[in-house]
Structure 1
Amino acid sequence: MKVLLTGSNGLLGQKLVALLRQQAAVEVVATSRGRNKLAGPYPDLTFVNLDVTDAAQVRQVLARQRPTHLMHTAAMTNVDECELNREACWLQNVTAVENLVDACATHRIHLTHLSTDFIFSGEAGPLSEEAEPGPVNFYGESKLAAERAVQASPSPWAIARTVLVYGVARDYGRTNLVLWVRDSLRAGTPIKVVDDQWRTPTLAEDLAQGCWLLARHEARGIYHISSDELLTPYAMALRVADYFGLDKGLIEKVDGSTFSQPARRPARTGFLIGKARRELGYCPHTFGEGIGLVAAQSENPAR
């Protein structure tokens, strides 16, 4: 089994590299734009610089590497940037997927594609795989269009939808809710956190495990991969404060109207994950366990 991974420098990409290298008889080809951020911990990792928006380059790399499986984790995920820079968003989230779908079809490569709860309107979470999409922002529109491109592929495919991913990565410029709350409270900085949006937060290691299970089983279809705890960001923030013994008085409960953001957010998403549990054996951490893992990794640079 040979797995080619896009977006290997990202949070999920890094977790997948770590997980896949532990699997017997699995060869990993990591790809991303820019330098390989995992050269330090994995000096023997096969790395190829790949711009997935370049169709010719995608064809060349897949023809040369000939993977049996491809996991596509690269995407433009900043929701407000997607709203403001729609052309760039479409190029990275839709055109890139079309390029990969075409190349995978040529070589009959199993494709695991990452999608999001933001394809939904947020009126009726938690949601099953059969729920009707209805994005309320351009990021969600782009990811729904990408799903449809994958579903039209003649080669085998699986779509892993996920929600509010958190975790720790090397040399990674972005933060997430757990680290942001911890670091803000440690600095004595008051924060405002919404309590009118609902999500099932996803530990990055759990998402990587879900993607690996999809590839290993050569699963076909759509799967919801997250935790099964439906929480508001405010409730999550309180749990983070409790875990680290920090001042919860610094956390102000607000609603979404407090913030002026270019893109709307769906109010209530979150996923039902029974299908992934039954068919794949997927078993995520609790949010409390996830906070503990983030704490251990973020406070041990060697991790």
Structure 2
Amino acid sequence: MSSNIIGKKILLTGVNGMLCEDIIKLFKKKDSILYTEYFDVNDELKWKEIIEDFKPDVVIHAAAITDLDFCELNPDLCFETNFKSVIKMIKYLKNEKIIFISSAGIYGNSIKDDFYHESSEINPTTIYHESKYKSENYISSNYSNYIILRLGWLFGGDKKHNKNFVSKILKQSSESNTIYSNNKTIGSPTYTLDVANQIYHLIINDIKGVFNCANRSKKPVTRMHYVKSIINLSNLKNEVIPSVDNYFKRNSNVPHNESCINFNLNKINLNKMLDWKISLENYLKKIDE
């Protein structure tokens, strides 16, 4: 059943992130009432104050420490921000819609070279993904009106954003004729603007549940193919070659497969995510304007 989003109050966390940047732009066009002030999600009294004063219809909880290596070195801080903030949030909500931003990385390495479905085995290999999965479990066990979105490899937002993988590759292309990339890691490139649009449709249709949310692809995308596509679609001539093992040293045991298919969105006929190459091309045109 579809409803109107005009006038709905949307509380956002993680407002300085790539995803929220596009959520804010899209939802302003839809005439939603947005709470976009930054606040510390570890501050329980702030949660209480904002929820009681703003009275949101929807809370989009995107705030998190997302640096996987930092989380490995600082597990207490990771769980404090990524997990305990969820407990504090739910404590003051009644039955408002929660949209929790999670990650396809929570599946770990339970599948070698194919897409994960929402029903696939979950086996986090990093502290960050443990914190996300623990949050998912807490929400599903203690709340009913929720949407959990497991996102793929995000790109989008301002080209100056420090988490912007596309911008990092374009910067490398201006500094060297050769770019090294991992040809063994696979995933699902995912455009933040498409995710924002998907969230919009989930809200107006009053959907609940757990959903993978990534741009479409016929097969999992290697990191190297992703990088080559950025270079080719930008009409650049850099050579992209496979990196040797351990070329990119990490503190975290990052899963080699973070690819996923939007099975549950397809099942309810509400998969609004575009093909990843179309979205990548759209984004490259946008930041080149």
TM-score by length of 2: 0.90
Kindly indicate whether the alpha-carbon contact (under 8 Å) linking 1:101 and 1:149 is maintained by their aligned counterparts in 2.
no
Tell me which residue corresponds to 1:10.
Answer: 17
1:199 positional shift: 0.4
- After superposition, the Cα gap between the structure-2 partners of 1:181 and 1:170, relative to the gap in structure 1 and judged at 3 Å, is closer
Q: Secondary structure at the match of 1:252?
A: strand
- After superposition, the Cα gap between the structure-2 partners of 1:170 and 1:240, relative to the gap in structure 1 and judged at 3 Å, is closer
Q: Kindly, what percent of the aligned residue pairs are identical?
A: 18
Cα deviations across residues 19-75 of structure 1 (Å, max 9, x unaligned)? 111215x2222132xxxxxxxxxxxxxxxxx21111111011100000111111111
Cα deviations across residues 149-185 of structure 1 (Å, max 9, x unaligned)? 1112234111011011001327633321x22222211
Aligned equivalent of 2:117, options 125, 128, 131: 128
1:231 positional shift: 0.4
Tell me which residue corresponds to 1:156.
Answer: 145
- Larger RCO (CA under 8 A, 6+ residues apart): 2
Matching of residue 115 in structure 1 with residue 70 in structure 2: no
Tell me which residue corresponds to 2:34.
Answer: 28
Kindly indicate whether the alpha-carbon contact (under 8 Å) linking 1:19 and 1:209 is maintained by their aligned counterparts in 2.
yes
Kindly indicate whether the alpha-carbon contact (under 8 Å) linking 2:64 and 2:82 is maintained by their aligned counterparts in 1.
yes
Question: Which whole-Å CA distance do the structure 1 matches of 2:244 and 2:195 have between them?
Answer: 28
Kindly indicate whether the alpha-carbon contact (under 8 Å) linking 2:110 and 2:122 is maintained by their aligned counterparts in 1.
no
Unaligned runs of 5+ in 1: 33-49
Question: Which whole-Å CA distance do the structure 1 matches of 2:108 and 2:243 have between them?
Answer: 21
Question: Which whole-Å CA distance do the structure 2 matches of 1:224 and 1:164 have between them?
Answer: 12
Letter in 1 for 2:183: D
- After superposition, the Cα gap between the structure-2 partners of 1:66 and 1:280, relative to the gap in structure 1 and judged at 3 Å, is farther
**Aligned residue pairs, count:** 278
Question: Which whole-Å CA distance do the structure 2 matches of 1:75 and 1:286 have between them?
Answer: 27
Aligned equivalent of 1:138, options 109, 115, 127: 127
Decide which moves more: 270-279 or 81-90: 270-279
Question: Which whole-Å CA distance do the structure 1 matches of 2:242 and 2:88 have between them?
Answer: 43
Aligned runs of 1:84-123 on 2, under 5 Å? 84-104=73-93, 107-123=94-110
Matching of residue 244 in structure 1 with residue 234 in structure 2: yes
Question: Which whole-Å CA distance do the structure 2 matches of 1:217 and 1:174 have between them?
Answer: 31
Kindly indicate whether the alpha-carbon contact (under 8 Å) linking 1:119 and 1:133 is maintained by their aligned counterparts in 2.
yes
Letter in 2 for 1:65: F
**Which portions of structure 1, spanning 4 or more consecutive aligned residues, are displaced by more than 6 angstroms?**
none
Matching of residue 208 in structure 1 with residue 196 in structure 2: yes
Kindly indicate whether the alpha-carbon contact (under 8 Å) linking 1:7 and 1:31 is maintained by their aligned counterparts in 2.
no
Letter in 2 for 1:123: S
Question: Which whole-Å CA distance do the structure 2 matches of 1:290 and 1:146 have between them?
Answer: 29
Kindly indicate whether the alpha-carbon contact (under 8 Å) linking 2:59 and 2:99 is maintained by their aligned counterparts in 1.
yes
Question: Which whole-Å CA distance do the structure 1 matches of 2:286 and 2:179 have between them?
Answer: 24
Q: Secondary structure at the match of 2:167?
A: helix
- After superposition, the Cα gap between the structure-2 partners of 1:90 and 1:213, relative to the gap in structure 1 and judged at 3 Å, is same
1:276 positional shift: 1.2
